[in-house]
Amino acid sequence: MSTAVLSQLQFAITSTYHFLFVPLTLGLTFFLALLETCHVRTKNEEWKRDSRKLLHFFGTVFLINFAMGVVTGIVQEFHFGMNWSEYARFMGDIFGAPLALEALSAFFLESTFLGIWIFGWDKLSEKAHCLTMWLVAIGGNLSALWIIVANSFMQHPVGYSIENGRAVMTDFGALVTNHYVIGEITHTFFAGMSTAGILLAAISAYKILQGGAAATLFSRVMKDILAYTLVGLLGVAIAGHMHAQYLKDAQPMKLSSMEALWETEDPAPFAVFAVINENAMKNDFEITIPAMFSFMVYNAPEGEIKGIRELQEEAVQLYGSDNYVPNVTALFWAFRIMVGAGGLMILIVAVAGLLALRGKIADNRWMLRTLLFSLPLPFIANSVGWFVTESGRQPWIVVGLQKTVDAVSPNLTQTDIWLTILGFTLIYLILIVLALKVAIRYIKDNPAPERSKA
């Protein structure tokens, strides 16, 4: 493997580890803020006691996740200097601004008020304490926004000029209002809700199956968790659909590669299954739904969608001779895994929600087990979704401006990268195992049963 491919692999491993925790942070803070708002506003003393227990319980689960997210995220920033120094040199003027704002405005806000939330119980008024969690939620999602602003420039560059061989920012407003940002941030926000919701539903299902006083406590909140999750799942589906329509103009090669559409067609079919031959630039076998791809893009049963062959020819004319087609097979199946996992989660949560509305969820052990074992689904969907987003722009690291092979550090050796890949992967694996062990033990043993008063 070349140093560029190895550097991509290393960044992919680091990012995948990190992205296991990011959506949870975004979704859990928003849920905790809503739950604490209900706690403050309720006049029901029994629910007030129960909601406080739930806040402590789910808050601790969030803190374990937050710690892992911070640890895995810090390493990512070092990659820009270690592995991608040419990218940092070329893009530093633009990429550095949102990263700096993420640290100064978002992470400081989130971490500062998280500390106040942790130690502020019974020291702040209920409303002030609730406000701190809302500020944590705002800080976390603002952090995601700044990262997405930086990433969106890489996907669709705007507000820049090329000076002395470097990309220089000329319009910060254009950078922030980049239409690509809208699609990514909405998709990310609802993905956070979905991921956190599935985790909370799985934990609650486990506690109900566990029985005892905890079963009663978590049965009370299950309906609300399922509603929160369903909103997130439907939101991520709608946001993803609208963003895919935007890709027709912003990144047509990514869109057509996701569907393995080699020839320009009007209307274009949707391939349910395909045996893809990338060397011959065709599908040896496919099962398609006529006109469905055009319908998905245009909301109408007709509309031209450019094929990969034509897009490759256009790219050669624009940028020079090279292969501008990403890994079609990987993109095609990654997209279907993401959509399939999302559809399965919607089905499970919708059925569980109907049972919860009828007051039957606590008695349906089959449904509770289904919720428990659905826990890997959002993490699978998030990981393959990230893969689609990032690999779909290859061979570019910044679309139209810098290729991935030109962005890698010039003096980096394969030995350097292999050693750090193995080192980081081993350390992350140990940390995740330890974090899971702590989280599982905490979930199993808490909330602790109340001691009877003598």
pLDDT 10s digits, 411-423: 888 888 888 888 8
Q: CA separation (Å) from 197 to 68, 229, 336, 337?
A: 19, 4, 22, 20
Cross-strand bridge partners of residue 161: 168
| Residue 229 banded pLDDT, cuts 50, 70, 90 | very high
| Helix residue ranges per DSSP H, 260-413 | 292-298, 308-319, 328-357, 365-373, 376-391
**136-140, 212-216, 300-304: least confidently modelled range:** 212-216
Higher-confidence residue of 3 and 202: namely 202
Structure tokens that stand for 145 in this block: 């926004």
8 Å CB contact between 80 and 88: yes
Q: What is the pLDDT of residue 349?
A: 94
| Residue 34 banded pLDDT, cuts 50, 70, 90 | very high
Radius of gyration (C-alpha) of the chain in whole angstroms:
24
Q: Which residue, 53, 213, 221, is CA-closest to 121?
A: 53
| Residue 266 banded pLDDT, cuts 50, 70, 90 | confident
Q: What is the pLDDT of residue 19?
A: 82
8 Å CB contact between 134 and 31: no
| Residue 362 banded pLDDT, cuts 50, 70, 90 | confident
| Residue 21 banded pLDDT, cuts 50, 70, 90 | confident
Q: How many CB atoms lie within 10 A of CB 358?
A: 9
| Residue 448 banded pLDDT, cuts 50, 70, 90 | low
Q: Which residue, 447, 386, 424, is CA-closest to 21?
A: 386
Q: Which residue, 271, 203, 197, is CA-closest to 234?
A: 197
Q: What is the pLDDT of residue 165?
A: 84
Q: What is the pLDDT of residue 373?
A: 93
Q: Which residue, 378, 75, 74, is CA-closest to 200?
A: 378
| Residue 429 banded pLDDT, cuts 50, 70, 90 | confident
Q: What percent of the chain is modeled with pLDDT above 70?
A: 98
Sequential DSSP letters for 324-342: ----HHHHHHHHHHHHHHH
Q: What is the pLDDT of residue 52?
A: 87
**How far is the C-alpha of 1 from the C-alpha of 223, rounded, in Å?**
50
Query: pLDDT tens-digit profile of 45-100?
Result: 888 888 888 888 998 889 888 877 777 777 777 777 788 888 888 888 888 888 88
Q: How many CB atoms lie within 10 A of CB 9?
A: 14
Whether pLDDT at 453 is above 70: no
Helix (H), strand (E) at residue 191? helix 179-210
218: left (phi over 0), alpha (psi -120 to 50) or beta: alpha
| Residue 344 banded pLDDT, cuts 50, 70, 90 | very high
**How far is the C-alpha of 337 from the C-alpha of 25, rounded, in Å?**
23
Average pLDDT over residues 260-269: 90
Average pLDDT over residues 16-23: 84
Whether pLDDT at 326 is above 50: yes
Average pLDDT, the chain: 88
Q: What is the pLDDT of residue 11?
A: 84
Query: pLDDT tens-digit profile of 185-214?
Result: 999 999 999 999 999 999 999 999 888 778
Q: Compute the C-alpha angle 370/193/424, nearest 5°.
A: 90
Q: What is the pLDDT of residue 53?
A: 87
Residues found in the chain: 454
Cross-strand bridge partners of residue 286: 274
